[in-house]
Amino acid sequence: MEIELDASAKDKRLNQWVALTVVVLSIFMGLAGVKDGNIVQAMQQAQSNAVDDWNEYQATRVKLHVDEAALGLLQSTAGAGDAARAEAERLKAEIVKYGHEVPELKKKAEDEQARYDALNVHDDQFDASDALISIAISIAAVAALTERYWALFAAWVFGVGGIVMGMAGFTGASLHLGFLAQILS
């Protein structure tokens, strides 16, 4: 009779550890999911801004090219009239303006793309965290069903890996599992 009580107590202790593991990992996973959602929104905004900035850059370059061509045409075909000179001066002023805007627009677009890329690293961290914690929770469930401590320990290994990746995402650390990101993307 005493042996059965010890086995029952052992099973109860394993199930308590499994339950505690699942609760801790689920809470962390929920918090990380909120942060990841915010990062995805910021990535979408950065991508949208980058597209807008590149479009503005391209439009400005087209206007610059059109004005340069118009000035060249005006200078090659027009006489020395006041209207032609006034138009040439206006085109030169526009060319100078566009010449200053183009590099600024290019830098602005490149900065938005860099922001997107930096956010993507953190999104990948949260994705890896989510995957590792999901695996940990699944293994913990198997540990409860099979009553094997080694499975619980394996769940803890994956869980710790998920928490480490999630904390890297929260803190902005540069920890990145490139191979895992490639598999998951």
pLDDT at residue 182 in the model: 67
pLDDT in tens, 104-156: 999 999 999 999 998 988 898 999 999 999 999 999 999 999 999 999 999 99
- CA 1/CA 126 separation, integer angstroms: 49
- The predicted structure's pLDDT at residue 152: 95
Domain that holds residue 92: 2-184
Q: What distance, in Å, lies between the first and last C-alpha atoms of the chain?
A: 55
Rounded CA-CA distance 185/183 in Å is 6
Q: Binning pLDDT at 50, 70 and 90, where does residue 20 land?
A: very high
User: Count of residues for the chain?
Assistant: 185
Would you state the pLDDT for residue 176? Answer: 75
Hey, what are 66's tokens? 């059109």
Query: Of the candidates 142, 139, 184, which has an alpha carbon nearest to the alpha carbon of residue 165?
Result: 184
What pTM does this model have? 0.72
Split into its structural domains, the chain has a count of: 1
Q: What is the pLDDT of residue 71?
A: 82
pLDDT at 9 over 50: yes
State what percent of residues in the chain have pLDDT above 90: 54
- The structure tokens listed for 102 are 């183009």
Candidates 142, 169, 163; CA nearest to 153 is: 142
pLDDT in tens, 67-95: 888 888 777 775 667 777 788 888 888 88
Strand extents, DSSP E, the chain: none
